Each structure stands twice: as structure tokens, then as C-alpha cells.
Structure 1
Amino acid sequence: MPATSVKRPVRLLLDTDDDHAVDRSAHQWADPARRRITVEPTPHTTSPAHLALDVLRAMGREGYFRPEAERMSTNPAWRAVTCWTLTTGIRDVIVLRAHRLSAERLRRLAVWVAQTGIRLTLLAHTPQRDGERSLLEHLTAAGLDPQVAARGTTCVLDAIGPAAGRRTGSPPHDHTYRLPPLPHSPVPVFREDCRRRLNPADFAHTDGQYRAGYAAARTWLARTQPPRPENTPTTSRRDERTPFSLQQTEALRLFLARLTVSSPSPQHTLARVRGAQAGFLSRSTLLDVPHDLTTRTGPGITTKPLTPQTVHTITTRLPNPLRAAAIAALLFTGTDTSLLSMTQTAGIEHAHSTLAIDRDSRINIGEPPGPRHMYAVPPRARPLLQTAVAFRRRTPRTYDHHGLFANCFGTTPRFEALIADVGLPIPALARHAGDDWHTATHAWHLHTPAPRTSDFPAPF
């Protein structure tokens, strides 16, 4: 790797007494939540890859939950360091035992500083002047501009600064209200059937999901669909209905995915979708959902909400950005790996909030394009997708039409190793039946007046 042409400034702290209090103070100063970390290089090795893994561990991406977990080689590991640094906003870094770093490791640190703009502090233990002079020469040769900021234990402790104080641990465990089995009644009578069959507490929670779906559907239609003409449709058109166009179908799939991606159970999803169907009908639009909704795959059915605890588990156990994003995508799409493996790097759209898969164009070459498979990316998953896209684009000879999750869902042993490394249940792996429910959903514009309130009561 060529050294950088511009010397990058680095703060150098010289602990001539090699006091353990200095190391302890550096560790207490670190707090990834405050965008500052302390890296302790693995002893008895000069491998640049090990140093990259030490940096990832300092960020909280301890990884390697199992002894046989998949490791990253040198270049991918340092790409992961750069991408995670930019995504998490790490600004200040202290590296301990800098006097033992090899020339190659120092060059890697120089490139890291150049690519991310971090403020790097090297803490060295050099009791002799000759060791200090040699260290300065190595740093300069690696493309760094060392600036001695402190010498001696007392001055070094002052330069490190105060401890970070109380740190936040792992997020609390997830908890949601469990709904009982809901009736699969048609839209006009669904709410009344729930009121009749459920106890007051269960109905209140179910009705809250129903109301949310109803309000979301009416809001989405008001924002995205053209207003209905004021003149009354002719009698010849009353029995007709106009299907959604290709663009409208894609937008509908994305709306349904956003509506249900955070749903904690299929019963919550059923209530939200029935409410959305009611909202569509109130706007003279028919939303036809598969009758076997709760036994299909897709958002809200075979997905798992990306709660803080889930995201913490993913980022801790999977330092590789591509593998972390692949698991997150499996959890928030609920689709089959054969479809998810077709995701292109360019398929992550709209500030990493949308995942689009153009399966039909890749299978039916030469035929007119069909609507893409659309999925909503939850806010907590967007940094993972952002890091994965940056990692893929920094990989040599990679283009936007290449697969984003290449090598993640490849061979069966590799995929099984990925599932074992993360240690989370993946609901989508238990079902493999046809298209996802929101992909099999269709909508039509009805050329009839909106139903009267007495015919179709709204929840408000």
C-alpha cells in the first residue's frame, strides 16, 4: 500500500515510565457512544488484519461470538474499519503500545486518518531517547506527522483527559403486547367481529393497530394518488375498475411494507392491513390482499422488528458490514434468500430507506419490465445498509449493478455459518411459499362514490 503524499498530523504521548495508570486512564476515557475509542493492539503479532480487528473491537463490534466464526482478511477488515468509522461518526482514537507497531500497521493507520479525518493519538512507552527517535522516524516514513504533546506519566494523564463516566450497557430486552388469534373476517365486519370476540384489553390493542392502518392508508392516498374528478361517473363505468399502474403498484408495495415492517406479530399485521383496506375503500379504492395473509411470507409476517436489542446483537456479533446488513435485510424483509440475493448495490434507494429488487427483468430478459419488489428499511437498519453500500463501493472492481449481498447467501455451509454467528432466530427461513403477501396484493380505482358512513363505519 503506498504511503499518503500528505503528512497527517498525529498526537504523540510518550509514557517514559510505562505506568499502568496511563493505560487504565486511556480505557476509562473511551466511550463509543461519545465517538471516542481506545484501541489496544493484540500482543505478539504484527498482522495489520489483527490491528483492524482490534479497532472494530474497540468500537463495540467484538464479533466472533463463536471460536470458529468467519474472520476477515487484511483489506476487507480495514475497509470495514473505515466504513464503520464514517457511519458511527467516531472522531477521537487513542492507540496504545504505539512503539510496538510495525511499519505496515502505521501505514494502515495513516490511510485510516486520511480517509476518515479522525483525531489520532498514539500512546508510546519509550523510556530511552533512542527509542523515541526511532519511533518518530517510523511515523514519518508511514505518512504521519507526529507532534509530541506530552512526556512523562503526569503530563500524559492530563493530556488524555477525564474518564467518560457512566457508560450505557446493552439495550433492554424487547417487550410487546401479545395479541390473541384474530378473526379472518372480511373488511366490513372485521372490527365488529373483533369487538365481539375479544376482551376489552385485547380489543383496545387490536383497535389501535386497526386505526393506525386506516389513518396511514387515507394519508398515503391523499398524498400520492390524483384527486377524483368532481363529476359523477357515467353508468357505463360504474361496473369498471382501473388497476394501479406499474409505478403505483411499486408505491403500493412500499407503502404496505412501511406499514407493517415494525409489526411485532402476524396478528398485529392483520389488524393494520384490515384498517388499511378500510381506509382504501373510504377513498373508492379496492385493496385486494391474499386471503392466506398470516401464512405467507413478507413484512410483518415473517419479519422481526429491529429493536435496539436486535441491532445491538447484529452489530456486536457481525463486524463485517455485508454480513450485518444481510442479516438485517432478512429480518426486515421476511423474504426468501433466493430473492434477497438479487439485491443490487443500486437497489438501496432514497437515503437508504428503500430496498428495491428487480427480479423480473433479471429472469425474463427482453420482456417489458414489471413492478419491482419493494421493501421499507427501518430507521435502525439504515446505518447498516449505508455501511454495507459504502463497503461494497470501496471494494475494487465493484459496480452498482453487482450484488450487494454477494457471498453472504452463497453456499449452504457459508449461509449456515452466518446464521450461527449472529445467533438470532430468522422467521423467514421457516417458510418458502410463493411471493410475499404485499407483492401478491393488488389495488384498483373504483368508479363509484365512496361508501356511506352507515354502510362502512370508520373507526373514528
Structure 2
Amino acid sequence: MTAPTLPPAPAPRAAPPAAWAARPVRLLLDGDDDHNVHRAAYQWADPAQGRITVDPTPHTTSPAYLALDVLRASGRDGFLRPEAERMSTDPAWRAVTCWTLACGLDEVIVLRAHRLTTERLRRLAVWRADTGIRLTLLAHTPEQTDLQRLLEHLTAAELVDVATVRGTAAVLEAIGPAATRRRTGPPPRDHAHPLPALPRSSVAAFRADCWRRQNATDFAHTDGQYRAGYAAARTWLARTLPPPPAPVGGITSADDPAEPTLFTLQETEAVRLFLARLTVSSPSAAHTVARVRGAQAGFLSRSSLLNVPDDLASCAGPGLTTVPLTPRTVHTITVRLPNPLRAAAIAALLFTGTDKSLLSMTQIGSVDDTHTIVAIDRDSRINIGEPPGPRHLYAVPPRARPLLHAAVAFRRHTPRTADNHGLFANCFGTTPRFEALIADAGLPIPALLHPHPGDDWHTAARCWHLHTPTPSAPDVLPRLGELHP
């Protein structure tokens, strides 16, 4: 079998920061093959703090196996399951690079470096150059000839800035102390207080109906969500939308008020993005309904009318058919799906709550530079030549942003890729491939369990300027009394 070769040289990169160049490769020579040295290297590692120890799989020479060893050391070991997706050499190393940049991996110790081939050392050199990691090689070289052979391999791999450390005591000191408070296993489950069944009232009567029908504890939780939506809407309107133009002559006739004005295309997109951000991390549909009703009240207090579907609970979209990306959920995704594209695809299904047919239209350029917004321009791709309409906008929750960051970087590192190419390539294409993705993730997807044929609820939202005098209203609603009729 011929040894795999490196991919073609990428386009010239910007020079790495000086801090990267100032950290040479450390070569720790453990001539006695002391068990304490290996144990210290394992205890030093803490992926949550950006430090990992890579133990190459014995009796393998393929660079792909070394990339999988790096992913396993980072906690992404889902590929070990027999039915899991396999990654070849180049995609595996692209995944290593993208996860390193997205998750802040900074220091790496590689064990058994004396057994690494020149090809594997080249891959480590490219990884170090692309990410700026501090690379430490731990080698067992009892004879001078072993050391000479290792140095020749390092030179051939263009790892020439090597700082050598000899002796067990010096090696242990170079490794450093063991990590403290290192977490083992998945994070604990999050808990949110469940809300009772909410009245199907309009915004005008919603809060009063909740106050009449719920006990004090339930109403306190419901009203907390309502007041949060109200305050968020008033704050967003004050920061985002300019005040309506003053009437001609400065006088408005109470008998002949101006007709309501529909929000512009840009304002409509902004409102829908606000609604997505308001509800993307909502624990349940009831929490979402309470937040949206509060937001509608906040819009009315600013002389704007926000219209959403009447029966929100039967719709799909953010906060209704989504799953909050808790630390435990993100841990499950990253452990079971080491491929950045597949991990981001599952995360997108969870935080958008939309149909996979829409997500499959996501382009690389649909994700903004800060990885906080996904904008899918479905209508322009279907109705070619028609005037542009509002895009389908989704807010990316903070815990999903590293996943989107890694996926975008993975696609842009792929040869012959442009921003108008699909982001989730080979994830939603065929039914067997999609079913394999869902099986590998091992998470329930509400958008698949409860499919909804129409558009998501926030994309059906409409808003009007009412051109009425803005009432005097507080930015934060006071709490209602605890006495019930």
C-alpha cells in the first residue's frame, strides 16, 4: 500500500502572530520510558481548558488514524462505534484544524513520538502552523541512534525549531502539574420550571387571564416570561427602529389618524430576527407563548402592532419545535459527531426547528462573520427574477456558535468551495444519509417528530406603525399583586 500524500498546498496564509512563532516544538526525551511520565502527561490534559494528550493508536502508520486519535483526545470519539460515519485522511485533518480553532485548543502533548512516521509528523507540522498550538512531543529514545533517526524525521517534516528536554525530572517539570477540577462525563441536565396550560387569549387579555386562572406560583413563572418579552421588545425598539416621522405641521388630528404603515422589508427582517433571538433558548412552547405575548404588549406600548399566528402552539419554528442547546446537549453532539458539518447540521435542526428541506438551502455565506445569524434566502432561489422578499432568519444560540464556526471553516478549507455552495454538504441529501445522521446523533429532533408543512411562525410575523401617540409606559412592567378574585 502506498503511503498517503499531503493535499496540494493551500493558498498563502497571513503570517501567524508573533506569539505563535515564539513557541518552539518541545521534544521531551524519556530515555527510561518511565511510567510516571506518561501518567503525568495524561493527568495534565484537560480538553475544557484547551489542553489534550494524544496517544497514537499502536501498530498504525496512517495519518488518518492520528487525526482520529487527536479527535478522541478532544473527547470526540463517536467514530469508535461500528455503525458511525468514517472520515478519510484529509477530511479528518480538516476536522482537527477546525475544531482546534473553534474551541480554543492551545496545547498538545503527543506520546510515543519516536514511532511517528515522517508523513504523520508533516501533518502535525501543518496543524501547528494553521492553528498556532503549542506542540510537545514525548519520545522514548534509549539509544543515540534512535534520537538521531527521530531528529532526521523532524527535519524532513520541517519541524526544525525544536527545544529538547532530557531527564525524567526535567521532563516532568516541563509537562507541568496535573489538571484540577477536570470534568468527567456529560454535564448535568438543566432544569426549567414547567408552565401550566396557558389561555389562548389575545395580547390584550393574556396577562389578565393568566392572573385569574393560575395560582400564585404558576403565575409568577408565567409573568416572568411575559415581562421579559415586554422589556426585550421595548429595549429592542428603542435601539433598532427610528421613531416614526413627525406629522406635517406638528399636529395630528385625533379624528383622522394616519393609516397604519407596514414595516419595510429591512424592518420586517429585523423584527423576525428579534423574535428568533427572543425564543431560540425557550425551554418549552408555553415559555415561548408567554414571551411573545409580552413582546406584543411591548410593541403596542411603542405604537407598533406585532401580528403573529393566532395559535402559536400548533406552529413550528424557534421556541416551539426547538431544543435548548444546553451544555449536555452540546456535549452529546460533539462527542457523537466528530465531523464539523454533521455536528452543525444537527445543531441547526435543534435551534431552528425548521424543516430539513429549508436547511438544505443554507449556503456557506448564509452564516454571518460572527456566527450569530443564519439567513436563508429561499424565495430568491425558487422565484428567480422576482423582487426579493424577506429572508428566513434564525438566531444562533451562543453554545451553537463554535459548531457553526467549525462547519464554515471546514467547508472553506475544502478545495474548490465558494460562499454560494451548500453549507451542510452531504448531510441532508439522500434519505439513507439523513437517517444515518439522525442515528449517529442519538437525539430526538422535534421538527422531525412533529412536522409542520407551513412556514415557521416567526417568518409569518407582520408589523405595522400605528402612527398614534405613544402612551406613557414603563420599560419594565411592575409585578401584579398576589390577590386573586
Q: What root-mean-square deviation, in Å, do the aligned CA atoms of Structure 1 and Structure 2 show?
A: 2.2
Residue 156 of structure 1: how far off its partner (Å)? 2.1
Residue 233 of structure 1: how far off its partner (Å)? 3.4
2-structure distance, mates of 1:450, 1:91 = 53
2-structure distance, mates of 1:122, 1:441 = 57
* 1:171-230 Cα shifts (integer Å, max 9, x gaps): 211211011110010111111110111111110000000001111111111112221326
Asked if 1:142 corresponds to 2:142, the answer is: no
Which residue of the partner structure matches residue 421 of structure 2? 402
Which residue of the partner structure matches residue 186 of structure 1? 202
* Stretch moving more, 142-151 or 23-32: 142-151
1-structure distance, mates of 2:251, 2:389 = 33
Residue 188 of structure 1 aligns to a residue whose secondary structure is coil
Structure 2: runs of 5+ lacking an equivalent: 1-5, 16-20, 480-485
Q: 1:301 to 1:106 in 2, by over 3 A?
A: same
1-structure distance, mates of 2:415, 2:112 = 32
Which residue of the partner structure matches residue 378 of structure 1? 397
Residue 191 of structure 1 aligns to a residue whose secondary structure is helix
**Equivalent pair of 1:39/1:93 in contact (CA under 8 Å):** yes
2-structure distance, mates of 1:281, 1:292 = 20
Residue 14 of structure 1: how far off its partner (Å)? 1.5
Instruction: State which of 165, 175, 184 in structure 1 corresponds to 2:180.
Output: 165
Asked if 1:301 corresponds to 2:316, the answer is: no
Which residue of the partner structure matches residue 296 of structure 2? 277
Counterpart AA for 2:308 = V
Structure 1: runs of 5+ lacking an equivalent: none
Asked if 1:55 corresponds to 2:70, the answer is: yes
Which residue of the partner structure matches residue 348 of structure 2? 329
1-structure distance, mates of 2:343, 2:180 = 30
Which residue of the partner structure matches residue 192 of structure 2? 176
Which residue of the partner structure matches residue 336 of structure 2? 317
* 1:294-352 Cα shifts (integer Å, max 9, x gaps): 11110000011111111111111111111111111111111000001111111111511
Instruction: Give runs of aligned pairs for residues 255-274 of structure 1, distance below 5 A.
Output: 255-274=274-293
Residue 374 of structure 2 aligns to a residue whose secondary structure is strand
Counterpart AA for 1:253 = R
Instruction: Count the aligned residue pairs.
Output: 457
Q: 1:3 to 1:97 in 2, by over 3 A?
A: farther
* 1:106-139 Cα shifts (integer Å, max 9, x gaps): 1101111111111111111121111111111011
Residue 148 of structure 2 aligns to a residue whose secondary structure is helix
Tell me the TM-score normalized by structure 1.
Answer: 0.95
Which residue of the partner structure matches residue 229 of structure 2? 213
Instruction: Give runs of aligned pairs for residues 108-119 of structure 1, distance below 5 A.
Output: 108-119=123-134
**Equivalent pair of 1:14/1:124 in contact (CA under 8 Å):** yes
Which residue of the partner structure matches residue 77 of structure 1? 92
**Equivalent pair of 1:3/1:107 in contact (CA under 8 Å):** no
Instruction: Give runs of aligned pairs for residues 34-113 of structure 1, distance below 5 A.
Output: 34-64=49-79, 66-113=81-128
2-structure distance, mates of 1:219, 1:166 = 39
2-structure distance, mates of 1:17, 1:247 = 68
Asked if 1:444 corresponds to 2:464, the answer is: yes
* Stretch moving more, 148-157 or 360-369: 148-157
Residue 366 of structure 1: how far off its partner (Å)? 0.6
2-structure distance, mates of 1:130, 1:222 = 73
Kindly, what percent of the aligned residue pairs are identical? Answer: 73
Q: 1:236 to 1:205 in 2, by over 3 A?
A: same
**Equivalent pair of 1:107/1:142 in contact (CA under 8 Å):** yes
Instruction: State which of 356, 361, 364 in structure 1 corresponds to 2:375.
Output: 356
Q: 1:65 to 1:310 in 2, by over 3 A?
A: farther
**Equivalent pair of 1:171/1:308 in contact (CA under 8 Å):** yes
1-structure distance, mates of 2:255, 2:93 = 67
Which residue of the partner structure matches residue 432 of structure 1? 452
**Equivalent pair of 1:139/1:146 in contact (CA under 8 Å):** no
Residue 433 of structure 1 aligns to a residue whose secondary structure is coil
2-structure distance, mates of 1:334, 1:60 = 27
Residue 53 of structure 2 aligns to a residue whose secondary structure is strand
2-structure distance, mates of 1:148, 1:9 = 6
Which residue of the partner structure matches residue 243 of structure 2? 227
Residue 145 of structure 1 aligns to a residue whose secondary structure is coil
Instruction: State which of 432, 437, 441 in structure 2 corresponds to 1:413.
Output: 432
Q: 1:418 to 1:359 in 2, by over 3 A?
A: same
Counterpart AA for 2:112 = R
* 1:393-452 Cα shifts (integer Å, max 9, x gaps): 111100111111121111111111111111111111121220000001111111333468
Counterpart AA for 1:437 = W
Which residue of the partner structure matches residue 213 of structure 2? 197
* Stretch moving more, 82-91 or 235-244: 235-244
1-structure distance, mates of 2:112, 2:256 = 80
Which residue of the partner structure matches residue 26 of structure 1? 41
* 1:353-408 Cα shifts (integer Å, max 9, x gaps): 11100000000001110010111111111111111111111111001111111211
1-structure distance, mates of 2:251, 2:217 = 43
Q: 1:65 to 1:247 in 2, by over 3 A?
A: farther
Residue 301 of structure 1 aligns to a residue whose secondary structure is coil
Counterpart AA for 2:383 = N
2-structure distance, mates of 1:30, 1:214 = 46
Q: 1:452 to 1:220 in 2, by over 3 A?
A: closer
2-structure distance, mates of 1:42, 1:66 = 16
1-structure distance, mates of 2:175, 2:240 = 54
Q: 1:221 to 1:3 in 2, by over 3 A?
A: closer
1-structure distance, mates of 2:254, 2:292 = 31
1-structure distance, mates of 2:161, 2:113 = 12
Counterpart AA for 2:232 = A
Residue 57 of structure 1: how far off its partner (Å)? 1.2
Counterpart AA for 1:433 = P
Which residue of the partner structure matches residue 124 of structure 1? 139
Residue 384 of structure 2 aligns to a residue whose secondary structure is coil
2-structure distance, mates of 1:65, 1:266 = 36
